[in-house]
Structure 1
Amino acid sequence: GGLRHAVASIAGAEAYKCLKFEGGVHRVQRVPKTEKQGRIHTSTMTVAILPQPTEMRLQISPKDLRIETKRASGAGGQHVNTTDSAVRIVHIPTGIVSECQQERSQIRNKEKAMQMLYAKLYNAKLEEETKKRNTARKIQIGTKGRSEKIRTYNFPQDRITDHRISRSVHHIESFMLGEEMLDEMIQTVREYADYETLMEIISENEK
């Protein structure tokens, strides 16, 4: 049971700039209501933040795409089971795949699958360029793999710890509501990332 996968679209001024450092592994430590011995259970969630490029910034040739349709699986009633509404798009040169079956309409599923494909291709290009720039010394924030543990939410202690900047704050509820505590944490991470980027540039120029 539980949620295994979710996709959300966030729009707004500088949305990617504000949220890009939220990518990574978020760890939750809690005592479930069903736990009789009071033992702390640890769960993790991997977050990927992908910028949504415009068609002007990233061009995809139709001949490089293989578009497949199939019947959607899972809940949805008779309509889902009897129509080929699910869409799967393969970018042939890279092998990157995007799928969508959220909508009842095949057209809407194709639109969403294309949006996700654009984001995946743009992110792959971004990661490739980042690796090329940081061969001598990796920037500590923003270039680590998504398997990197970035933050822990400890419910018994009502504490949030960001491991990249070694900073802890308390009151998880306020933090999760996106109030000042979250803004301050994000700003601190961004400032530290800027500092690391500056150190990278200085290191390159001193060679």
Structure 2
Amino acid sequence: MAQVSFITATKLIELLGCANERGDLSVSVLSSNQLALGIDPLKPTSVIDLSNETVRAIDLEEAKKDGLPPEAGASLGSFRAPRQTGSYTLKFKGVTKDCWSLRNLLEEGLKSLEAYQPGVLDKLSAIKPRTKRIVARDPLHLFDQAALAHKYAQPLIDGWWFGTNNSAEETQTWLRRGAELAGLRWGSDVSTSMPVDRFL
């Protein structure tokens, strides 16, 4: 008898968000405990496993075993959705926005800063500590290594990209810098809150 797995709606939303950051994938039922995701619903490229709450790419061998087309194969590894013990929030000039992830918090913060003070993204793009920028007009300019750009660059607003591989501390630092460049006070005009375990 097939094993049936259950998952909370909150955890499922979290897994879908991790697997589908661009928002362009379709979801289909693969089995009693697996959901398949892909741009083409008939050619899935990743699987959400409800039994262990992970997302993984479908490799060629797995695709053949499950009767899926070879195009469903991918080279990505599996990953678990980030552990979360609370919500992420952005407070911007008295307005609070709820965000579903650290990446979403950074994205909303950057968009809010640019909307408030056009030109902030230009100023942030000139800052490059060590090996990466937070925003750039060309995704290949975000990182010293092109492979990282292919993996971690996401569209932000028209003509701009941002890097998504940031720790909680880096996210706070970038948003604080952006607030300063926009002439805003960190902690009063702009602030964030996030799960405590992000800092542990």
TM-score class, shorter-chain normalisation, is: under 0.3
Q: Which has the higher contact order (CA 8 A, sep 6+)?
A: 1
- Report the TM-score, using the length of structure 1 for normalisation: 0.26
